[in-house]
Amino acid sequence: MIYMRKIRILIAKPGLDGHDRGAKVLARSLMDEGFEVIYTGIHQTAEDIIRSAIEEDVDVIGLSILSGAHMYHFRRVLELMKENGLDDVLLIGGGIVPEDDKKKLIEMGVNAIFNPGTSIKEISEFIKNNVRRIK
């Protein structure tokens, strides 16, 4: 097989939330969809996430948040993305996010929130259709 540039996705769990089974399953499933997934694990600060996103030159940042602190973490990551000029990177999230908050997050600039029950195909299609970089 030949090397070809794949879409690169960072999967991270911000804050104190340690429930990472879902994030691991997602990382593996996205690999099966042909993506390169950089899995950074739990207890990431927003600064950690941005640093990894820059060094890994990812196309997508995916945050998994089950702790209820989604409004805080997404706001902080969005701020740092702006500060660091990551305008061409998609920010998506998964976890337990109430509908009202979901609307607010999308307004803030998060590209998509996937709640429990979302199929991998749906996430994969969204990424393929929305990645901003021209390959």
Partner 1 sequence: MNIDEIMSDRKKIAKAISEVENGNTLIATEALRRIRGIDVIGVTGVPGSGKSTLISKIAYKMAKEGKKIAIIGIDPTSPFSGGAVLGDRIRMKELNRFDNVFIRSISTGGKLGGMSYHTPDVINILDAAGFDLIFLETVGTGQDEVDVMNIATTIMVVLVPTLGDEVQVIKAGQLEIGDIFVVNKADQGAADEKIKEMTLILKERKDGWIPKIMKSVAVTNQGIDEIIRALDEHKNFIIEKGIKNKKIMERMLYTIKQYALERIENIMYNENIEKYINQIKDGKDISRIIDEIMLEMGVNYGKGREIYRKVEGMGGEGP
Residues forming contacts to partner 1 in the complex (CB under 8 A) are 1-6, 27-28, 30-41, 43-45, 47-48, 51-52, 54-57, 84-85
- Taking the C-alpha atoms of residue 88 and residue 106, their distance in angstroms, rounded to an integer, is 16
Centre a 10 Å sphere on the Cβ of residue 117 and count the other Cβ atoms it contains: 6
Minimum CB distance to partner 1, residue 5 (Å): 4
For residues 1 and 117, which CB has a smaller minimum distance to partner 1 in the complex? 1
Go through the chain and tell me how many residues it has.
135
Minimum CB distance to partner 1, residue 60 (Å): 13
Minimum CB distance to partner 1, residue 16 (Å): 14
The set of residues, in sequence order, having a beta carbon less than 8 Å from that of 43 and lying 6+ positions away, is 13, 15, 16, 18
